[in-house]
Amino acid sequence: MIDIKFADGSVKKFERGISAEAVAAAISPSLKKRCVAAKVNGVLVDLVRPIESDADLELILDDRPEALEILRHSSAHLMAQAVKSLYPEAHFGVGPAIEEGYYYDIDFGDKVLTDSDLPEIEKAMAKLASGNQSVSRREVSKAEALKVFADDPYKTELINDLPEGEIITLYSQGDFTDLCRGPHLPSTKWIKHFKLTSLAGAYWRGDSKNKQLTRIYGTSFFSAEELQSYLKLVEERKKRDHRKLGKELDLFMLSEYGPGFPFWLPKGMILRRELEAFWYKVHLKEGYQLIQTPIMLNKELWVISGHWMNYRENMYTSVIDDQEFAIKPMNCPGGMLVYKRDIHSYKDFPLKVGELGLVHRHEASGALNGLFRVRNFTQDDAHIFMTEDMIVHEIAELVRLYDYMYSVFGLSYHIELSTRPLEKFIGEIATWDRAEKALADALKSMGKEYKVNPGDGAFYGPKLDFKLRDSMNRIWQCGTIQLDMNLPERFDLTYVDANGEKKRPVMLHRALFGSIERFIGILIEHYAGAFPTWLAPVQIKLIAVNPDLHKAYADRVMKTLLDRELRVETDYREEKLGYKIREAQTQKIPYQIILGDREAQEEMVTFRRYGKEESFTVSLNDFVEMIQKEIANK
RNA sequence: GCCGAAAUAGCUCAGCUGGUAGAGCAACUGACUUGUAAUCAGUAGGUCGCGGGUUCAAGUCCUGCUUUCGGCACCA
């Protein structure tokens, strides 16, 4: 007999070699029904794995995130089984569970799979799943595994890469066997609510030098309701797509004459200018100085900065008077020149210099995506020069600033600290260690949680990245704070210390929105195009009930609102009220004001908020006061 | 850049196996004179992304290019 200790601390005796499934069944049949897998001594295993000695046992029920991952992983296997039955020539790569589902990379040989082939695969999956095949696990030697997958070049490659002596496991269901670490569901009967979602090319082992396989994406849930609500979320994201809303709300456009170079339309321009005005205002208050450096600078500058060496393929260049020039992909080299114009004293520090700088980067054509990935964009950049002992305090100041700015938009975030790369890095390891510690200390001093990404820093220094979560539960990397141990050296930046000696300053690059263009794209989707009043391109729509009778009063109201710097549009068309309301609503204008006899007689306005049914009648002055207060509070 | 798909009126889309284009919305004109999410009627609007080819005939088939979309790779 062995002792099984449960998560609640209780201990029970069972026969040696009992499975978690049998343990669950012994407790209650209903528990067994909901069991997907088990954690034995903290290790996730199949439900049917025999437990050979005393162990801590945790049953993984179907409401656990781990359970969903197992379901999806098993769904990927089921899909592979279905594909194999339909396309016997197919060779399989890898098929993991991912954030919102699973995929499998498959080599179909000469056969080109299209979306229209997916339903057939789905059908085959459903048929196989309903067969209630049991899933079995088998441990084999490397030689044996190679024999099983002798005809499968990708699996063979994977097996060959496994360390000698490692226990290799195979999972089988019906006539299908896959190389897999597991764990898996005990039976395919669990897989009921799934869908194949899309098809794409994907490089074998994620390397663009390798052959491209066909990747089939799918998702899977334990209940029909969860699948439905996921599909609804996908629909909602599509509705909020900034490319679609940008077109519908006349914010920006793209032209095939300039792929990746967005055009800002009048309404988008207002949004953009409001955002920038806010940024300028806050940064001036924070003690930043503002500069603007040229778009295009001589190649020699980029040689000094190191960009010419490392990133030349992504830079646009041009020859002017026999001299090679490059359009800036980053603002820092220009900023360095500004710093060097003057002699600096330690008394000037921290010196905070901001720039909304338009940069150009030649992104791969396939990477372009609306405002999210463009070839020219405006970085809300700043460079902070200081002494090393100021780092902790300045980082803390920045985190406080970011915290405030993101909160204005209702965006939550988490921070990731990326540390020194293992190979490609410059400078002394001791300096890196100090810099990394300074970043971490700043966060700790503020009680901020953070995740460490070891080795993920830039070659010139460690960094903090701010990952925002939007209203659709997606993560966007926007803010960044990077310590740069490279440029001050390359540009020979100096300051004069208290002893009158020249010293090397420490420099920080930082961006808060990252790219103004991209951030606006995020805001469009985050707000679903219904911007808060301070950002809305049109804040108020004035609708005259009967243009003939009420236009004069409406014009007076408009003048008052314009005088108060509110953004107003009028609708004097000879249409039914409902028609005009509807249009204002679809344009997501925050306030609609209805003006008719009742309002004209007493200098009143009747307003209705976007998305709300009720309307309120107040004096024009009260309305102005209310909306101005709202705008001021953001 | 790579794999796959797509491009038709300002927008959203239809156009089957080839027979020189169609709807709804928007625009314009007129009627209606409107009180909270689409009043009615009419008019106009297109080198079917661009080039080449097959054919008596191409939006439709083939081909090159451009752009877009879904991914992959990339993202200092």
Strands A11-14 and A18-19, how do they pair?
A: unpaired
**Closest nucleotide over all strands to A329 (CA to C1'):** B76
Query: Does position A396 have pLDDT exceeding 90, yes or no?
Result: yes
**pLDDT at position A347, please?**
96
**CA–C1' A103–B73 (A):** 17
**pLDDT at position A116, please?**
83
**pLDDT at position A469, please?**
84
Question: Considering only CA atoms, which residue is closest to the C1' of nucleotide B33?
Answer: A546
Mean pLDDT (chain A) is 93
**pLDDT at position A140, please?**
92
Least confident of A420-434, A581-595, A616-630: A420-434
Percent of chain A with pLDDT over 70: 100
Instruction: Give dist(CA A94, CA A92) in Å, integer.
Output: 7
Instruction: Give dist(CA A476, CA A512) in Å, integer.
Output: 12
The pTM score is 0.93
Judge whether A564 counts as a catalytic residue: no
**Catalytic annotation, pick one of A379, A539, A587, A592:** A379
Judge whether A463 counts as a catalytic residue: yes
Judge whether A361 counts as a catalytic residue: yes
**pLDDT at position A326, please?**
96
**Catalytic annotation, pick one of A46, A117, A152, A381:** A381
Query: Does position A137 have pLDDT exceeding 90, yes or no?
Result: yes
Three-state SS letters, A368-431: CECCCECCEEEEEEEEEEECHHHHHHHHHHHHHHHHHHHHHCCCEEEEEEECCCCCCCCCCHHH
Average pLDDT score over residue span A3-16: 89
Residue A601 C-alpha from the chain's centroid: 53
**pLDDT at position A315, please?**
95
DSSP lists the bridge partners of residue A105 as A215
Name the token pair of A390. Answer: 């100021």
Note the pLDDT tens digit of each residue in A74-106.
Answer: 999 999 999 999 999 999 999 999 989 999 999
User: What is the SS3 assignment for A457?
Assistant: coil
Sheet of A176-179: strand order equals: A136-140, A168-173, A176-179
- Dihedral sign, CA of A142, A144, A146, A148? negative
Query: Does position A473 have pLDDT exceeding 80, yes or no?
Result: no
Three-state SS letters, A522-540: HHHHHCCCCCCCCCCCCCE
User: Which one, of A354, A12, A359, lies nearest residue A1 by Cα?
Assistant: A12
**Catalytic annotation, pick one of A39, A373, A463, A580:** A463
**Catalytic annotation, pick one of A35, A180, A332, A478:** A332
**CA–C1' A559–B24 (A):** 37
Query: Does position A421 have pLDDT exceeding 90, yes or no?
Result: no
Note the pLDDT tens digit of each residue in A215-239.
Answer: 999 999 999 999 999 999 898 889 9
Judge whether A379 counts as a catalytic residue: yes
**CA–C1' A584–B29 (A):** 24
Query: Does position A471 have pLDDT exceeding 80, yes or no?
Result: no
Bases of strand B lying below 7 A from some protein CB? 1-5, 11-12, 31-39, 66-76
List the beta strands (DSSP E) in A459-598: 463-469, 475-484, 495-496, 502-503, 506-515, 540-544, 568-571, 591-595
**pLDDT at position A167, please?**
87
Return the higher-pLDDT residue of A486 and A515. A515
Query: Does position A538 have pLDDT exceeding 80, yes or no?
Result: yes
Query: Does position A112 have pLDDT exceeding 90, yes or no?
Result: no
**pLDDT at position A427, please?**
83
Q: Report the complex ipTM.
A: 0.94
Average pLDDT score over residue span A249-273: 95
Judge whether A576 counts as a catalytic residue: no
Average pLDDT score over residue span A317-332: 95
**CA–C1' A37–B58 (A):** 60
Question: Considering only CA atoms, which residue is closest to the C1' of nucleotide B37?
Answer: A582
Q: Centre a 10 Å sphere on the Cβ of residue A56 and count the other Cβ atoms it contains.
A: 16
List, in order of start, the domains of chain A with CATH numbers. Answer: 2-61 (3.10.20.30), 66-239 (3.30.980.10), 267-295+328-526 (3.30.930.10), 540-632 (3.40.50.800)
**pLDDT at position A278, please?**
97
